[in-house]
Amino acid sequence: MERQLLLISTPPKNLEEDKLLSAIVIGAPYGSTKEQAAAIYANTFAQLGFVTLAFDQVYMGESAGEPRHVASPDLYAESFSAAVDYPGTKAKHVNREQISVIGISRGAGFALSAAAVDTRIKSVVTISMYDMTDIREMANLAPEQLFQLKDQLSKQRWDDFENGQPDYHPSFPEEPYDSIDDLPNHDELTNEWLRFYALKRGFHPNTRGTATTTSNLAMLEFSALDYIKEISPRPILFIYGDNAHSRSYSERAYYLANQPKQRLIVKNCEHIDFYDNMEKIPVDQIAKFIKDSFNA
């Protein structure tokens, strides 16, 4: 199985030829592509003097890997480490001792998992964090319901083999809707995702959302936060909105992590505001945290 990351490196402006620079690797939300929220962060922090790099997760976007849309938590964590490889080996002017990681939304849990074992990552910033490996909590499943889910997913593997391809149900449309008023009405959470991914605001043809049905089996056997304490003494900054439906994930991860750790709760802010709303994204605080982490 081929694994390859297609990376976007955004050199900072006014690059001094002999100066070594700090780097930030930005991981996109789960099911998203580098051209969306991750690119916004990459471009923003490049303007502040960082070498920045956004990437597509393996099996997603323009990265390689078959079958498409498979979600593998161990490979997703590995993708962050592979992304760290790039600025330290291929990009000029990068200080290997000053590489930080930003994980956005459902990509943040995998950023923490990678940082727990990859000591080259000197600090981590999570943005509107999700822990996709915590399906039991997300679905609030009773033991019998959990067994039924496992049984259904396990038997789906037979069906996938017989059908010659994995079962996959996209969450987002092939073409963007013109306005919020045109969006189909779903539950509150789905409506929030659609306000970003299904409008021109955040639409990209490589982003159809979710993963193959049986990918949830991998999420059930992996826990992204098992070794979060081992990130210490490297610092973590947890950022989330006071109105974010996902805030409990950041709060739990903050509780589990050892010092040094910080959290920043942004007022009047929902989950997807951190994808592209520059009035809500605390750019200066993130930049200061990362710079301070390199000088600690």
pLDDT digits (tens, 9 = 90+) for 8-46: 666 666 666 678 999 999 999 988 889 999 999 999 999
Q: Is the pLDDT assigned to residue 1 strictly greater than 60? A: no
Q: What is the mean pLDDT of residues 251-264?
A: 98
Rounded Cα–Cα distance for residues 29 and 66 (Å): 20
pTM > 0.75: yes or no:
yes
Strand order in the sheet with 7-10: 7-10, 51-55, 21-27, 94-104, 121-127, 236-241, 261-266
- pLDDT, tens digit, 9 for 90 and up, residues 119-141: 999 999 999 999 989 888 777 88
- SS3 at position 12: coil
Q: What is the mean pLDDT of residues 55-74?
A: 88
Task: Give the rounded percent of residues in the chain with a pLDDT score beyond 70.
Answer: 94
Nearest residue to 261 (alpha-carbon basis) of 287, 241, 286, 235: 235
Report the pLDDT value the prediction gives residue 150, as an integer from 0 to 100: 96
Report the pLDDT value the prediction gives residue 218, as an integer from 0 to 100: 93
Task: Return all residues near 163 (Cβ < 8 A) that are at least 6 apart.
Answer: none
Report the pLDDT value the prediction gives residue 6, as an integer from 0 to 100: 52
Q: Is 17 exposed, middle or buried (0-12, 13-18, 19+ CB in 10 A)?
A: exposed
Report the pLDDT value the prediction gives residue 139, as an integer from 0 to 100: 76
The alpha helices in 132-282, defined as continuous H runs, are 135-139, 143-163, 188-197, 215-220, 247-256, 273-276
Q: What is the mean pLDDT of residues 67-75?
A: 90
Contact 288, 22 (CB under 8 A): no
Report the pLDDT value the prediction gives residue 296, as an integer from 0 to 100: 73
Q: Is the pLDDT assigned to residue 4 strictly greater than 60? A: no
Report the pLDDT value the prediction gives residue 33, as an integer from 0 to 100: 87
Rounded Cα–Cα distance for residues 178 and 85 (Å): 40
For the structural domain made of 1-133+223-296, what CATH number should be given? 3.40.50.1820
Report the pLDDT value the prediction gives residue 13, as an integer from 0 to 100: 62
- pLDDT, tens digit, 9 for 90 and up, residues 83-114: 999 999 988 789 999 999 999 998 999 999 99
Task: DSSP letter for 199, please.
Answer: B
Rounded Cα–Cα distance for residues 275 and 277 (Å): 6
Q: Is the pLDDT assigned to residue 3 strictly greater than 50? A: no
Report the pLDDT value the prediction gives residue 63, as an integer from 0 to 100: 85
Q: Where are the domains of the chain?
A: 1-133+223-296
Report the pLDDT value the prediction gives residue 95, as an integer from 0 to 100: 95
Average pLDDT, the chain: 91
Rounded Cα–Cα distance for residues 25 and 51 (Å): 9
Name the more confident of 284 and 174. 284
- pLDDT, tens digit, 9 for 90 and up, residues 205-248: 888 888 999 999 999 999 999 999 999 999 999 999 999 999 99
Q: Is the pLDDT assigned to residue 62 strictly greater than 90? A: no
